[in-house]
């Protein structure tokens, strides 16, 4: 049985630590998501404005994979919100009247709202990832293909595969 009092106590600790994102993972959530959903509802009630990720919404059957995907998604939510807000502002400033779609890991598209809620589904976005830093070959030379960009400063280089799509 779900211990709602314990979840509320955990929420008090989360609030005291000023945590912005929470991942919830229950062992049997793929086949019986009710407890995970209820835990998410309690966290949303107790901590308005905190981003809540349920493992059953981002992962498949494997417990560890689901749990890791939920944790990663929770960590990426603030960044996802920031990036989507930036793209939305750019579209508005350009005077474009089109919806924003984001490429998912499997190459399909998702809405901006979905990408903001589930950024974990976008950070290795399939076909666009394989085209990163591609350069055509010169006549008589083999293609340079895909190579990761090396940071000039010695810091980690992070690139976005977000694309603006319109119908």
Determine contact, residues 99/112, Cβ cutoff 8 Å.
yes
Choose among 126, 131, 96: nearest CA to 110. Answer: 126
The pTM of the whole model exceeds 0.85: no
* pLDDT tens, per residue, the chain with 167 residues: 889 999 999 999 999 999 999 999 988 888 888 999 999 999 999 999 999 999 999 877 788 888 999 999 999 999 889 989 998 999 889 888 888 888 888 778 889 999 999 999 887 765 444 444 334 444 554 434 333 333 343 332 223 333 333 33
The C-alpha atoms of residue 147 and residue 21 are separated, in whole angstroms, by: 33
3-class secondary-structure state, position 36: helix
């Amino acid at each position: 049985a779900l211990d709602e009092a314990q979840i509320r106590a955990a929420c008090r600790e989360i609030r005291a630590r000023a945590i912005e994102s929470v991942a919830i993972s229950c062992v049997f959530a793929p086949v019986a998501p009710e407890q995970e959903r209820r835990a998410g509802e309690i966290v949303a009630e107790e901590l308005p404005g905190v981003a809540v990720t349920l493992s059953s919404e981002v992962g498949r059957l494997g417990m560890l994979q689901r749990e890791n995907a939920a944790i990663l998604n929770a960590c990426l939510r603030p960044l996802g919100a920031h990036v989507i807000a930036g793209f939305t502002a750019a579209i508005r400033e350009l005077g474009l009247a089109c919806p924003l779609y984001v490429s998912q890991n499997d190459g399909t598209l998702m809405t901006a709202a979905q990408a903001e809620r589930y950024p974990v589904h976008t950070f290795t976005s399939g076909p666009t990832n394989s085209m990163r830093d591609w350069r055509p070959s010169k006549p008589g030379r083999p293609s340079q293909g895909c190579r990761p960009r090396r940071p000039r400063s010695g810091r980690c280089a992070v690139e976005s595969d977000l694309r603006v799509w319109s119908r």
